[in-house]
Chain A
Amino acid sequence: MLLSLIGKQMKMLLRNKQPLIILLVMPVVLITILSTALASVMNSEEEAAIQAKLVLIDESSWEQEEASIESFLKEGGVNGPALEALLQVFKSNDPIYILEESILDTKDISKYIAKENRQSTELDNLRKDKEIAGILVIPADFRFNYIKSAYFDEQETPDMDLFLSQENGIRASIIQSVLEEWQSGFTKSLALTKAGIPADGVMQNEQAVERIEQVLQGSERKIPASIYYTVGMLVMFALYIPTFLAGFALQEVQWKVYDRILLAGVPATLYAFSIFITGMIIALMQQVIILLYGKFVLGIDWIGLEGMTLIALSFSLFIGGLSALLTTLQLRTKSEGVANIFSGLVVSIFAFLGGSFFNIGDVSSLLANIGSFTPNGATMSAILAIQKGQLLEVIWSYMFTLYGWFVICILLSIVLFPKRGVTS
């Protein structure tokens, strides 16, 4: 019996052009237009944001320290051609040179890290600059001390100072990962050299790029216009599903089909439950279609399948509950007023506050806070959090908001649904 009711409601929906246009065609058209129109604004922000600015303050240099190294070697009894050969080995394995020339200045890495060489006198000012994600200070005599430590075990490995920005988390992580890779590389390289094995290829930029990609994957990614508006329109247009289902229910009452259903012994609660299930199924179908459109037409790479499934099911649950509530209110009032007010006013306000049109937080944090309590706003925030690569735990607060709405809708439907009939 339940399946018959659901099947009938699905047929009514699918054989009407208006619901199909509003539930599928309109969101797809708007997603395409908004994604294309605002892509340059939102996506260029992403390009700039992904590049980390690294300032290199190198107080050490071969020119200053070569004489000290030479005299250190002579004191150790190294002279003549052996001295020249050793100096050549040290020079070619200079870790700072390798960092700059073989890693930071390469095309692959410079996409992610913009390097700038500055003087130590500027350090205080540089540390105040919020644009700078990291500052690497190489102290004076670093090369000399490094050689003594690395090749002659006469001193501890000299320290470098790395200042990372707290405000540019992801960019600082990129810098840190590359420098860690570099340190690890020259340690390995040194070990190989000491063992008489050529160390060519140990410190290559490929490893650094790989580390950057790992950092990016493990961190928030920026949301391009295509993702933002696909999600925004998805959560907005799902809100129209209950208005159509409630409209059909009112038609059934007006046509006296509802009387027939009750006379057949179908409990009013089962009828309301069928509306709830139908709303859920349609919401799920709509979300899947729009997400697939995003994937295959707009080329969106949806990540976090587990989180997305949880959100889609929870949002569908809410849409089902809202369908039951709007139907209840329409049957109670025996007019289309409730659904008209909902589709004409409430959906627009919710969409505005929830951020379907633009990020409301850019305008007012108060409105953004209010918006996060709307069911569509909470759902949108949850999906975007997942798409930024955040952990599943982050979305629970949004999900609880959604479940709160769901419980309210269901309780009101249970209390208010006309149990006997709606014939006046």
Chain B
Amino acid sequence: MLQAIDLHKKFKTKEAVHKVNMLLEAGESVGLLGPNGAGKSTTISMLSSLIMPTSGEVLWNNVSINKNPEALRKTLGVVPQEIALYPELSAKENLHFFGRIYGLKGQLLVERTEEILRKIGLSDRKNDIVKTFSGGMKRRLNIGAALLHNPSILIMDEPTVGIDPQSRAYILDTVKQLVEEGMTLLYTSHYMEEVELLCDKIYIMDQGEIIAHGTKETLKSLVSDNQTIELKAHVLSKGFEAALKKHFPTANIRKEDEILLITMPQNEEPLATIFAIAAENAVTITSAIVKVPSLEDVFLHLTGRALRD
């Protein structure tokens, strides 16, 4: 169990992190969501014992790591946002080096290296120099280097920044697999869909503070319990709109730029009824999208700003 209690970090006059409280239970996957500059990386550095908090404490299994970071470090894997690899060395040489400094040697080091290379899909490129790799391959190796010593807790800081969709999907699949295998995960990103996909519990951070936390559902409920259906048709007749209003009296129905927006509680499943009414009114629906609140909406709701601003 990793716990942050009232963490503060001040750099000269700037307070980067203010009163952050977090909890990661064993086997849990936790997301830390926030825009760039929110203080996520500083929080991660404190959680991983790399920098001392100005005040507050980090506990690993109820023991403070401020004075004794070794216990956590042995079992912790960190994937930094930067490509923390040696570009002049090959993939295998990089993994061997990181394995050795974690105390792996001999056959065990060889086996772990091969296993990690397979896991990240770089077995066929293991002897190539890292600087010749694509961005996605470097990101995968960056993750692999953190997994060599078989950690029980993994902290990932924006591990998919700046890579192609294919590599991103590969990385997300790999991380998902790790979570399914029981790895405790702290995943930071400003891509809300990644956090939504991977994490059970989410902390939302802005301007150095945790502004909300909970499960995805809890957070989304902060915004609204409603859903919005966006309808497009060849011709949206007034009769069709009137019929919808008659059938869904509590719904808010409005037309914006030739798109009909129907907002109603999430517990209703209206699509079959809407298509039936359209058929009765000779309306051909070309597109129907059901929109539920996203974490983006939650962030917008909490801060008045979009997450990626």
Contacts and interface: CB of A to CB of B under 8 A. Distances in A.
Interface residues of A, number: 25
A106 to B, nearest CB: 65
A424 B17 CA distance: 13
A152 interface: no
Given A260-B145, A265-B73, A1 B78 contact: no
A259 B11 contact: no
Contacts of A73: none
A149 B101 CA distance: 88
Interface string A402-424: 00000000000000000011011
A19 to B, nearest CB: 11
Contacts of B78: 259-260, 263
A263 B73 contact: yes
Interface in A255-279: 255-257, 259-266
A12 interface: yes
Contacts of B266: none
Given A256-B82, A420-B51, A15 B11 contact: no
B17 to A, nearest CB: 13
Contacts of B50: 259, 262-263, 420-421, 423
Given A8-B89, A260-B145, A421-B50, A266 B84 contact: no
Contact of A8 (B45, B51, B73, B97): B97
B27 interface: no
Contacts of B101: 1, 4-5, 261, 264-266
Contacts of A12: 86, 88-89
Given A8-B89, A262-B73, A263-B78, 19 more contacts: A1-B100, A5-B101, A7-B97, A8-B97, A11-B89, A12-B88, A15-B88, A255-B83, A255-B84, A255-B85, A256-B82, A257-B84, A259-B78, A260-B98, A264-B98, A264-B101, A420-B50, A421-B51, A424-B11
B118 interface: no
B200 interface: no
B188 interface: no
Contacts of A7: 97
Contacts of A262: 50, 73
B86 A257 contact: yes
A211 B89 CA distance: 60
A364 interface: no
Interface of A: 1, 4-5, 7-8, 11-12, 15-16, 254-257, 259-266, 420-421, 423-424
Contacts of B97: 4, 7-8
Nearest to B11: A424
A7 B98 CA distance: 12
B52 A420 contact: yes
Interface centre among B45, B70, B146 (most CB of A within 10 A): B45
B102 interface: yes
A10 to B, nearest CB: 11
Contact of B88 (A16, A264, A265, A424): A16
